[in-house]
Amino acid sequence: MTLIEGKKVAAEVRAELKAETAAFEAQYGKKVGLAVVLVGEDPASQVYVRNKIKGCEEAGIRSFAHYLPADASQKQVEELVAALAADESVHGILVQLPLPGHLDADRILALIPTEKDVDGFSADNIGKLALNEEGTVACTPFGVMELLRRYHIDPRGKRAVVVGRSNIVGRPMALLLLNADATVTVCHSRTADLKEECARADILVAAIGKPKFIAAEMVKDGAVVIDVGINRVDGKLVGDVDFDEVSKKASFITPVPGGVGPMTIAMLLKNAVACAKRAVR
């Protein structure tokens, strides 16, 4: 069994980006700029945003952090995003989700121009992915593909099973694997025979959001197992995969923490650099 060390790969990606951002600055006389908007005080979101800002520093990206109170109005958030959209020193805009319940997230995200959509959440970017055209890909599934690539795992011709169909992970993950010539099955809460579907997978991606949901009996011997889950149980981070048991059967497996999580941020930074390069070309 090979442990897929996302933490290590993410550090490599950040180091590569540092060289790219330095070259960008030398050529264009300004830094790559990423704006991060956090509304409210959700503790998990605060940690993610802090790590995103820290990642920017390490990769030589100028970060613009904007913190709004939990009771910020729709108009306040919209005005901020619109201002960032018009700001030439900002190449990418990220609005941390979830937003407080009184806000209309769709209307806020719609104000992010496609060319600054570092999350790849816009209909335009999802459409490009569905058409296998170049665009910005959502950071977490993009990070999974980068891990597969760096561990020389080629999805071509493999049976890939994605458990979860969220707009942020499951759907784009399935499209990426399809674009990489895998035979893709997407499972979800209404899937009949989930266990049998999973047990057929050469590459199994778990993005369900339930701790230790994927048991050893759901995994084929020699499968590649990618755990996207981040669940907090008794103050500890646990993935969607029962790591202790499943790691006995898998050929490759990602740990939680230290697997997919760090890659999400690394790919966000990569997306920001790509947006900046497109803005100047």
Q: Token digits for 53? A: 């800002």
Active-site residue, selected from the candidate residues 31, 116, 117, 119:
119
- Residue 136 within binding range of ligand GUN, rule CB under 6 A: no
Which three-class secondary structure state does DSSP give residue 12?
Answer: helix
Catalytic site residue 52?
Answer: yes
Catalytic site residue 119?
Answer: yes
CB of 44 to ligand GUN, least distance (A): 8
- If the CB atoms of residues 27 and 167 are measured against ligand GUN, the closer one turns out to be 167
CA distance 143 to 126: 16
Active-site residue, selected from the candidate residues 52, 116, 128, 220:
52
Cα angle 268, 272, 274 (rounded to 5 degrees) comes to: 115
Catalytic site residue 248?
Answer: no
- Residue 97 within binding range of ligand GUN, rule CB under 6 A: yes
SS (H, E, C) 72-141: CCHHHHHHHHHHHHHCCCCCEEEECCCCCCCCCHHHHHCCCCHHHECCCCCHHHHHHHHCCCCCCCCHHH
**Interface segment toward ligand GUN; rule CB under 6 A; list 5-13, 93-101, 128-136, 143-151:** 93-101
- Residue 271 within binding range of ligand GUN, rule CB under 6 A: no
- Residue 20 within binding range of ligand GUN, rule CB under 6 A: no
**Interface segment toward ligand GUN; rule CB under 6 A; list 14-22, 64-72, 91-99, 175-183:** 91-99
| Catalytic annotation, residues | 52, 96, 119
